Amino acid sequence: MGRAFKLLSCKPLDLLDKPYPHWYKNPVMYIAIEGVIGVGKTTLARLLQQRFEAELRLEVFDENPFLSDFYADRARYAFQTQIFFLLSRYHQQNRFTPDILSQGKNLITDYTFAKDALFARINLDGDELEMYYNVHDALAEKIQLPELIVYLQASTDVLMQRIARRDRTYERQMERDYIDTLNTAYEDFFDDYFKGVPVLRIPTDDLDIVSSTTAQEQVEHAIRAALRDAPRQTQLPLD
C-alpha cells in the first residue's frame, strides 16, 4: 500500500504579509523542494529532474565566505552570513526562473527564496533584523512563487545522522540545538506561509528516497496528484 502524504495550503507570515504583484497564468510546472538542513532536498530534486523532464536549479551555498565562521560563532557572523545568502538567493532566482519558464520549460529547485526570512528570524535580532527585513521585502516583490512546495520532514535525530553522514567540513561544528530550533521553525513556517501555494508534506524518517525506487515512485505520484489539484502557477508580472 502506498504512503499518504499531506497536501495543504498556507497563510503568510506576519513579517512578509504583503500583497504579491499580479501574475499571469503559465502552463509550465515550477516545483520547489524545501526542508531543514540535511533532509535530502538536493537529492530529491536530482531524482525528480528526469521524471518530470524539468530544468534543475540548485542553491549555491558553499560560496558564502562567512558560512564556516557562522557555524563556529553564530552570534558574531550571523548578519554577514544572512545578507550574503539573501542577495545570492535573490540573484539566483531572479536570473534563472523567468528565463526558464518563459521558454516553456518545467523547473525544479531545491530551495525557496522565502525561506531566507526563516533563518533571519532565528539568527538576527534588533536593528540587524529590521535592516534585513527592509532589504528582503524589497527583493521579495520581484521573485516568482513556485506552483507547489514539496516539504520534506524529518526528526532532529535523523537530520543529525544525515548531516554527519555527508560530512561537509563547515557542518562538523553544527549543534543539535540549532538543528532542533530550525526544525521547529520550519514546521511553523510551512504551517503559516505561502498563501495560495499548496504545500505537500512528506515525512522522510522511514522513507528511503535515495535507493528505493518504490519510494521515489510514491513521491512522484504524490507530487503529480498535488499538481492536479493546484491552480496553474504564474510567470512574470506584466509591468
* Catalytically active residues, by annotation: 110
SS3 per-residue string spanning 108-172? EECCCCCHHHHHHHHHCCHHHHHHHHHHHHHHHCCCCCCCEEEEEECCHHHHHHHHHHHCCHHHC
3-state secondary structure of 65: coil
Q: Rounded distance, CA 57 to CA 178, Å?
A: 27
Paired residues of 134 in beta bridges: none
Residue 16 corresponds to which cell in the numbers above? 512578509
CB contact at 8 A, 189 and 13 = yes
Question: What are the cell numbers at 121?
Answer: 528570524
Q: For the chain, first and last CA: distance in Å?
A: 49
